[in-house]
Structures are given as structure tokens and as C-alpha cells.
Amino acid sequence: MASFAQQFRGLKCPPLNDNKFSTSKKNQNHYPPSLPKKTSVISAAAVAIANAQTRERMRLKEMFEEAYERCRTDPMEGVAFTVEDFYAALDKYDFNSELGTKVKGTVFYTDANGALVDINAKSSAYLSLREASIHSIKHVEEAGIVPGLREEFVIVGENEADDSLNVSLRSIQYDLAWERCRQLQAEDVVVKGKKSTAEELLEKELPLKFVEVDEEQSRLVLSNRKAMADSQAQLGIGSVVIGTVQSLKPYGAFIDIGGINGLLHVSQISHDRVSDIATVLQPGDTLKVMILSHDRERGRVSLSTKKLEPTPGDMIRNPKLVFEKAEEMAQTFRQRIAQAEAMARADILRFQPESGLTLSSEGILGPLTSDLPADGLDLSDIPPAED
């Protein structure tokens, strides 16, 4: 053993490296040198955020508690209007919502089924397609109902689901139509209408008069016969009426004068000879004619434009002038008729002494008694009757 120890006694070991040991000591935990520093920064930030959130929650809690206490002790503090103001505002928009009440409203939305109307109620009112017009339509816009339209509506129902109201324009239009019918009946006015029952009268306008107007029973009765009778009563000889050419025949033209067909014979069209009526008149033409005769029993009316010509042949050359001068020429014709009738009466009296009058050779109609002026009536100014 001694010899072995002696062998090692002379050996020299190299000195330890301080740098090597220090590095080894630093690396003994196996963490990067900078990691502990970052960890401390993150931890500090998390704490700061948590503290900020806690402070915010505390601030909101204090605000809530303060607001709760204020509402409990003085609920109207800071409110710009009073309870009375609130109820007054409600009363301002409160209206009678009973059925039949008329309200003003503004359309703000439309579609194929109807429209929504603002009537200043709790909810908007609904105008259905059926209630939008008295006529049959496929879209409310066909009746002029568009957003922005302000109109008067009538309340006709209520939707129980949302307490909204149903309104109508159709009901108002029906009321106006019945009122107009009653007015026309009172004035005994002749109106135009089209029949759809008799095939020969399809799409043909006829004169009609109101016979019965009963809104409660929804009953409206009109008569063509009454209108025709009244129209015929107005067809005095020598009167000028406006007519429409219905058809042409070789012997004349049939003219519709307010639902009555009159005959304008070819010989009564013009003083000049008319060889072809179609060169002067066409179906559909509107013209003025004069009544020559009217047979009420047989329903025949004779017409003339010949008597309305200022100059013979004007109906062929210048019919516009004939129509412009029609009333003037008819007045002249009526005066001639009156003069002819006066002469006829005078001729009758000449040969009827029992009438109590006598006609002298000078044309003086005088009395046989003292009841008339002694000098009699002078008829010498009456011109002779014309053919």
C-alpha cells in the first residue's frame, strides 16, 4: 500500500477551471437566462387587468345602487315631463275606434294583398284588397292607393291577434254612390247605361231613369221605358237635337237621338239631290238634325238637315256651317210654321160666322160684338204660307 501511495504522491493534477464550473452552475436548472424576467412581467400585467376589472365592477355596482335608491325615493327626478304630460300625450293620439268611425290615415306600405295605413293608433291599420275600391281590382295601386296617399277611411273591423284595426275605402265609396243615385232620382236626370242580359243590347248605351233607390235593401231600379217616354215628350216639331248615325239604307239614314231612332230620309238631307248617302254621311257620324214630325203611337220620328241649310246644298258642300247655324235656321222655320198656322186659323174664321168674328175685304179681323176693339185686329201683315 505504501508503495502504491508513493506512486501517486509525485503526480500533479491540473488546476480547476473557474469559468467552466461557473457555467455549469448557471445551467444546472436548464432554463434560459431571460425566462424568469418575462414571467414576472406577465404576472404583473394579469394582476393589473384583474384590478381594473374589479374597479369597473365596483363602479357599476355603485351606479346601480345609486339609481335604484333614486328610483325608490324620487322616481320623477330628472324627468323632463310630468305624469300629467304623459297622459295628455296619450289622449292626443286616442280616438274612437268603434265600427263605422271615419278616420284620416296615410298609406305607408302596399303589396298585392292590400295596404298598411297609419291612423295615429297604437298599431297600423290594414286595408285589404277587397276594401280598397268599389270596383274589382287585382292590386291596390289600380285604385290609386300608393305610399304617401292621405285619405279618409272607415273602421270596419278589428284583428284580435294584435288589436289592429281593419279599414275600408269601399264602404265610403258605396255611401257616396247611393247618395249620388238619390240626387239623380230627385233631379229626374237621364243617365247612360249598358245592358248585359239581352244579346242584341250587349255593349249598347241606353238612356235610363231612376225608379227606385233603396240603400237599406241594396236595391236600385232604373227604367229605359221611362227615359224614352220623357225624351219623346221633349221632341217638339222644329226642335234641334244632336244624334249619331246608326246605319245607312238606300232610302235614308237612321239616327240615334238619345235612345230613339229617327229616320233622316234621303230627300231631307239637302236641297240638292243626294244620289249616294254614303258620300254625305257615315255610321258613327255626329250631327245636328231638326224634328219634322213625331208619331208617338207608332214610335216614328222624321228628321231633317235640309231645313237647316243656310244655302241650298250646304249639307253636301259645308256641313260644318249647317251645324253652326242649326238653331238659327230652326228658329226661322218655327216662325214660318207659326205664320202658316195663323193664316189657317184666319181662313177658318172667314167661313165660320158663328165664331163671332168677321174678316173684311181689307184683311181686318173684327168682332161682331162689342167685346173686341171696334177697329178689329189687323192680320194684313201676315205673309202667305210657303210650301
Chain-wide mean pLDDT for the chain? 76
Instruction: Evaluate whether residue 39 is within a structural domain.
Output: no
Instruction: Evaluate whether residue 141 is within a structural domain.
Output: yes
Weakest-pLDDT range from 21-30, 120-129, 374-383: 21-30
Cβ atoms of residues 120 and 95 within 8 Å: yes
Q: Which of 137, 125, 133, 130 is nearest to 99 (CA)?
A: 125
pLDDT at 213: 86
- Compute the half-sphere exposure of residue 161: CA atoms within 13 Å on the CB side of its CA: 1
Range(s) of the domain holding residue 320: 235-334
Q: What is the residue whose three cell numbers read 248605351?
A: 205
29 Cβ neighbours under 8 A, 6+ residues apart: none
Between β-strands 377-378 and 205-214, what pairing exists: parallel, antiparallel or unpaired?
unpaired
pLDDT at 332: 87
Number of structural domains the chain divides into: 3
- Amino acid present at 103: V
Distances (CA, A) of 334 to 11, 151, 236: 174, 54, 11
Give pLDDT tens digits for 311-332: 999 999 999 999 999 999 988 8
Weakest-pLDDT range from 29-38, 219-228, 338-347: 29-38
Q: What are phi and psi of 77, to 5 degrees?
A: -65, 130
Whether 219 and 154 share a structural domain? no
Give pLDDT tens digits for 63-82: 888 888 877 787 766 666 67
Whether 270 and 313 share a structural domain? yes
Q: Is the pLDDT of residue 336 over 70?
A: yes
Instruction: Evaluate whether residue 239 is within a structural domain.
Output: yes
The predicted model gives 205-227 an average pLDDT of 80
Distances (CA, A) of 359 to 25, 347, 362, 364: 172, 9, 8, 5
How many Å apart are CA 75 and CA 99, to the nearest integer? Answer: 40
Q: What are phi and psi of 233, to 5 degrees?
A: -65, -20
How many Å apart are CA 239 and CA 321, to the nearest integer? Answer: 18
How many Å apart are CA 24 and CA 330, to the nearest integer? Answer: 143
Instruction: Evaluate whether residue 53 is within a structural domain.
Output: no
CATH code of the domain in which 268 resides: 2.40.50.140
Instruction: Evaluate whether residue 61 is within a structural domain.
Output: no
